[in-house]
Chains A and B, each alone.
Chain A
Amino acid sequence: MDQNSATYEGQKMYDPKGWWDTYVFSQDHKVIALQYVCVALAIGLTGMFLSLLMRMQLGFPGLFESIDAGSYYQDVTMHGMIMVIYLLTALFLGGFGNYLIPLMLGCRDMAFPFVNMLSFWMYFLSVIILVASFFVESGPTGAGWTLYPPQSILEGTPGGDGAGIILMLASLAVFIIAFTMGGLNYITTVLQSRAKGMTLMRMPLIIWCIFLATFLGLLAFPALLVGAIMLIFDRVLETSFFMPEIFKGGEVLDYGGGSPVLFQHLFWFFGHPEVYIIALPAFGIISELISVHARKNIFGYNMMVWALIAIAGIAFIVWAHHMYVAGMNPYLGFFFATTTLIIAVPTAIKVYNWVLTLWNANIKMTVPMLYCLAFLVTFLNGGLTGLFLGNVAVDVPLSDTYFVVGHFHMVMAVSPVLALYGGLYHWYPSVTGRMLNDTLGKIHFWITFIGTYLIYFPMHYIGFLGVPRRYYSNEQYDFIPQSVADLNQFITVCALIVGAAQFILLYNFVVSLYKGAIAPKNPWGACTLEWQTLESPPGHGNWGEQLPVVYRWPYEYGLPGATSDFVPQNVPDEQIT
């Protein structure tokens, strides 16, 4: 076999037969991406609804009698798990990854389309198992999204009497299988089936980001899988991996000799890279959008790539900064504080480069651009409070207060969601062939952007006052002043408004699908390959007869001597006009 034939071994046209193959059990990466996006958005809406229930209790304690302490903790747990894993991880990698990797790299499909399809259906199954836990006796687990033993598997924890925790862990295990199948696809495709001329250092930054995020996932999710398996055994077989000797109600339980801190290590060895699994695709989306909508090449492409690689590497040695108060050796805290602060350096490089890309640029205030600017500000704010929490001495008093809630919602909830929305607005024309309504988009943007600040900024202050997070009710504690209750009411009202505003986006999506203006082939004037397909939106096989050939890097804006202000990647030098 000559070596080049391996290159195009799978570059066959996907030719579906009939409705089921085209729309349901499709092996086309674009359909799979849409399936991922739809399921993730649906479960994400559920997560948002749960957060509003929590806010109702915090803002107006006792208003709803159905929200008791138990169901409050169940809402907290499910909200966290759904948002971090089933919404953001699935949407960024399953959705954006599936859609963009083959299109941006100029190949016909993923390397293993069948495995890719299986990946989606396993993800769907994991979501079903997760949702099923709402309907079992005593409901979903209420142990907090970190699922720390011993309380996560003991009866008496909210939702702990029924099968809630089992379903949660089973769902996670199935999700990890789904992610592994998808992830192997993404990595193999990026490494092995790029278009001619598409070197690694000519890949769009979002592909680099998804590639590295997938690598992080493939190496980090195993720790969660192991933790989940051991936790299931502790619950079902009464092994004592994580369980010390426990007295409960005066009785000695059958457990003994295990290490609860071990689970925290396993969980956060997954959990911290998970932050970057979510953040890196967001970085990638911002890098693309900022360059396209500011009509300027990205500043410092090479540095951006190396910064990403540095972040991905260091992400594996910072996990224990989540555990400063967990009772681990204080000297370990010193090590992890150091690595945590070091990871801020490559992250800062990226932020500076985005800002320098904007410097003297021809900034178009489109909706995606607005989201980019919002992301920069929000991510910077969230990142700065991260420096507080990364230091052991500052973290100890702030740990488990609302300061932490404000910090991580700023940096890993709002920021990625802003990038996500920017990406949805940017690539919607490529998927549907129609433009989204600009006015609705701007209304949605301003409510979301200002609203999230009104929600999460006061939380930093509440945290400084020492209000602990995850408390069902703050009324009966002397050290919590009345101002906290007032602020909580204010936050809840803002959260309701922001929650309602998300339906503008959904409305815009559905209506634009039928009534939106027909999008031109390359509406934003982008250089990357996904806008250079024969048909728009791209059909099965993406490229017609001939695979594209790449002649330049993906950010060729404002080339001197060219009449157009951008030159697509697949235009050779002699054809530049």
Chain B
Amino acid sequence: MSNNQSVSFEHSIPDNLKGLVADWSSDVQTFRVRWSKAMMWIFLVSDTFIFGSFLCAYMAVRLTTIEPWPPTSEVFALHVGGADVPLLLIAIMTFILISSSGTMAMAVTSGYKKQRKKTAFLILLTALGGVAFVGMQMFEWSKLIFEEGIRPWGNPFGAAQFGGFFFMITGFHGLHVSIGVVYLTIVAKRVWEGRYDKLNDYQMVEVAGLYWHFVDLVWIFIFAFFYLW
């Protein structure tokens, strides 16, 4: 009687799916990971819906607004050496952020190899990349606000929603990066103090890495939707 449930399962499922079903219907835990890692994945799914809602709203308004959208390649251009170079600053920012994802991945690897100092150093390097990114974002914002006169409620180039969506979404992303910098610094401190050596488990480094890669991935979408469209 008590086995009824599992028996009926076995018969109704093709062989190659049985492994998957076995994992999902196992007792105690569904995924063989730490609780915090499972939680981070679920949080990131939820966060995806926040950024997804933001970007969908942006796309919807961009299609319905009556005034023309500002010429983004001119607005975002940087005046270097007597010529406007489009996308220069943003290319550097994107490069830095993606590189920081690389150092984070290296930190996770060296963490699993139990290289305490190298892991801490690489995490700090990642956080430094984040600081550089936010710093350059501040530079970009102040250029847009003070030199080009773009405000959340209006701008001289066209549709008023441009400024609103730009500052809101890049600001929300910048907030994620800033929180990530603080988070990574704390993790780096814990690695340095040897907390994960005592636990004999560096999975928390990977959990922080998940967050960082997610923030990075979101940036790719924001980059594409704001700067390339």
Contact = CB atoms under 8 A, between A and B. Distances in A.
Contact of A191 (B31, B164, B199): B31
Contacts of B16: none
A197 B8 CA distance: 17
A237 B163 CA distance: 11
B29 A193 contact: yes
Nearest to A257: B65
A191 B30 contact: yes
Interface string B19-46: 0000011111111111110110011011
Given A194-B29, A196-B27, A556-B2, A188 B57 contact: no
A543 interface: no
| Number of chain B interface residues as a range | 35 or more
Interface string A165-194: 000000000000000100111011001111
A251 interface: no
B168 A223 contact: no
Contacts of B2: 551-553, 556, 573
Interface string B69-102: 0000000000000000000000000000000000
Interface stretch (B48-56, B141-149, B186-194): B48-56
B147 to A, nearest CB: 20
A551 B47 CA distance: 38
Contacts of B168: 229-230, 233
A9 B27 CA distance: 16
B53 A266 contact: yes
Nearest to A201: B5
Contacts of A551: 2
A201 B163 CA distance: 50
A256 B158 CA distance: 12
B5 A192 contact: no
A427 to B, nearest CB: 25
Contact of A200 (B25, B36, B50, B53): B25
A86 B50 CA distance: 21
B160 interface: yes
Interface residues of A, number: 61
B53 A241 contact: no
Contacts of B60: 259, 262, 265
Contact of A188 (B1, B6, B32, B35): B35
Given A219-B45, A222-B46, A257-B161, A239 B27 contact: no
A375 to B, nearest CB: 26
A436 to B, nearest CB: 33
Interface in A225-246: 225-227, 229-230, 233, 237-241
A565 interface: no
Contacts of B4: 553
A379 interface: no
Contacts of B26: 199
Interface in B1-18: 1-2, 4-6, 8-9
A112 B43 contact: no
B1 A259 contact: no
Interface of A: 1, 3, 6-7, 9-10, 111-112, 180, 183-185, 187-188, 191-202, 218-223, 225-227, 229-230, 233, 237-241, 254, 256-259, 262, 265-266, 269, 301-302, 550-553, 556, 559, 573
Given A6-B29, A6-B33, A193-B28, 17 more contacts: A1-B199, A6-B32, A112-B35, A184-B43, A188-B38, A192-B38, A197-B27, A199-B5, A202-B5, A227-B53, A233-B168, A239-B164, A241-B57, A256-B66, A262-B61, A551-B2, A552-B1
Interface of B: 1-2, 4-6, 8-9, 24-36, 38-39, 42-43, 45-47, 49-50, 52-54, 57, 60-61, 64-67, 152-153, 159-161, 163-165, 168, 199-201, 203
Which 10 A-B pairs give the minimum distances between C-beta atoms? A552-B2, A239-B164, A222-B49, A226-B53, A222-B50, A218-B46, A257-B65, A191-B30, A192-B29, A188-B39
